[in-house]
Amino acid sequence: MPVALHINEFLSLSGSHPIVDVRTPAEFAQGHIPGAHNIPLFTDEDRKIVGTIYKQEGKQPAILKGLELIGPRMHQFVSAAAALENSGQLLVHCWRGGMRSSSMAWLFETYGFKCNTLKGGYKSYRQQVLASFNEPKNIVVLGGKTGSGKTLILQELRQQGEQIIDLEKLANHKGSAFGALGEQKQISQEQFENELAFLFTQTDPQRKCWLEDESRKIGFNVLPDGLWEQMRNAKVFYVDLALPARIRFLVKEYGKFSKEELSSSINRIAKRLGGQHVKAAIEAIEAGDLETACKISLVYYDKNYNYGLSQRDQKNILVCAFEQLEVDKITKELIAQAAQL
């Protein structure tokens, strides 16, 4: 008989046993436990049908309809579970830890698997995820204006043995009007939070974890309240890179995109940049003068970043000035400075 586990017990077993999420494909796509496998009891349409019958006719007619729908597919459910790499034990959950997970766990155990279900279902997992962002984390922030190469520096920090979480990589967005260029489609806000919480569980809380200084929104993904507050109160290592070096980096980084893509991105900040500046920037792009287009755009981005920096406790800002974007040199300096905290 399947044994229901609390969320911490359930997740502690997930390193050695697969998680089977039996919710619909749409529910799974909206958000799921990282690494979980979706073997849906109902299709999206099935769930609508059964839900309507439940509301209109009651529980028993809905169950009968559900059995009618899933009966022919029971062998598919077991075959899908058997195809997973596992040691004969499955961790099964649905939304609230109710009939869907208990029914599928019964079926899997009938076949020969040992199963555990999740008390409170995926809902309990989500509650834990959101609560986790209020727990103190050992965060240090890598700051710097647009074009400072923060992502490159962050990756070098990882290579040098530091703990990092790349928020922009997780969000599939670079955080500006140009941020979607070259990126995959962004994940849902719910899944962004799930993946972010999972990454924090992989870090050593006794060691510093570097995060890039971001706006509250990265594309349409939003940093959770608790984490955002901690980032705003954390120590900031502000890489003050000289303007010429930033422009060279940006021209190289974005020069691979088409004039149409770059102009479209400029138009996204038209209201904040001003009509005259937008016109000049787009004309520069059309003429192939990306350096001028960068200079115009950076007037807005630098002003915006300076304002955000001014809202922090100035005692928490450590300025590290560099003339050139020498990633290895900058990284070593940051590590040395951080070691003194």
Q: Which residues are catalytic?
A: 94
CA distances from 303 to 32, 53, 165, 209, 237 (A): 38, 57, 26, 27, 19
User: Where does the chain show beta strands of DSSP type E?
Assistant: 3-5, 19-21, 37-38, 89-93, 114-118, 139-143, 163-165, 209-212, 217-218, 221-222, 235-241, 317-322
Q: What is the end-to-end Cα distance of the chain in Å, rounded?
A: 53
Q: CB-based burial of residue 144 (10 Å sphere; 0-12 exposed, 13-18 middle, 19+ buried)?
A: buried
CA-based nearest residue to 84, from 113, 63, 41: 113
The answer to whether 184 touches 122, Cβ cutoff 8 Å, is no
